[in-house]
Amino acid sequence: MLVIHVSVECFPLAKVGGLADVLGALPRYQRKFGVDAWVVSPFYDKPFTQDRSLSLIHEGDFMQGSEHLRYEVLKEEGDPLGFPLYLIRIPGKLDREEVYCYPDEAEQWIAFQHAFLHWMKSAEIMPDVVNCHDHHVGLLPFFMRHSLEYKGFSEVKTLFTIHNGQYQGWMNWNKGILLPKFDTWKWGLLDWAGVINPFAAAIKCCDAFSTVSEGYLQELFEQANGLEDLIQAEQAKGYGIVNGIDDLYWNPELDTLIDKTYRRSTVKSGKKTNKKEFCERYKIDSTVPLLAFIGRFALEKGADLLPQILEHIFTNQDNKISIFILGSGDERIQESLSALLDRYEDRFAVFFGYNETLAHQVYAAADLLLMPSRVEPCGLNQLYAMKYGTIPIVRKIGGLKDTVLDITEDGGYGFVFLNAEVNEATEAVERALQVIEDPKALHKIRQREMELDFSWDKSAQQYIKLYNQL
Rounded CA separation 204/234 (Å): 7
Rounded CA separation 72/95 (Å): 11
Q: With contacts defined by CB under 6 A, name the span among 99-107, 181-189, 374-382, 447-455 that binds ligand GLC.
A: 374-382
SS3 content of the chain, % helix, strand, coil (to 5): 45, 20, 35
Rounded CA separation 212/399 (Å): 7
Using CB under 6 A, pick the residue from 4, 10, 19, 202 that binds ligand GLC: 19
136 touches ligand GLC by CB under 6 A: no
7 touches ligand GLC by CB under 6 A: no
Rounded CA separation 213/240 (Å): 5
Site string for ligand GLC, 200-239 (x = CB under 6 A): ------------x---------------------------
Per the document, the length of the chain is 470
240 touches ligand GLC by CB under 6 A: no
Using CB under 6 A, pick the residue from 7, 164, 274, 459 that binds ligand GLC: 164
Using CB under 6 A, pick the residue from 4, 294, 369, 380 that binds ligand GLC: 380
Distance, first Cα to last Cα, the chain: 12
Using CB under 6 A, pick the residue from 376, 384, 433, 464 that binds ligand GLC: 376
Q: Do the beta carbons of residue 11 and residue 55 sit within 8 Å?
A: no
42 touches ligand GLC by CB under 6 A: no
Rounded CA separation 170/199 (Å): 8
Nearest Cα to Cα of residue 148 among 119, 169, 117, 108: 117
CB of 396 to ligand GLC, least distance (A): 14
Q: Do the beta carbons of residue 24 and residue 246 sit within 8 Å?
A: yes
378 touches ligand GLC by CB under 6 A: yes
163 touches ligand GLC by CB under 6 A: yes
Q: In terms of CB distance, is 18 or 180 closer to ligand GLC?
A: 18
Q: Find the residue with minimal CB distance to ligand GLC.
A: 18
Residues linked to residue 74 through DSSP beta bridges, in sequence order = 56, 87
Using CB under 6 A, pick the residue from 2, 12, 17, 286 that binds ligand GLC: 17
**Alpha-carbon dihedral angle through residues 75, 79, 83, 85, given to the nearest 10 degrees:** -20
Q: In terms of CB distance, is 158 or 381 closer to ligand GLC?
A: 381
22 touches ligand GLC by CB under 6 A: yes
Residues that bind ligand GLC (CB under 6 A): 17-19, 22, 163-164, 212, 243, 376-380, 399
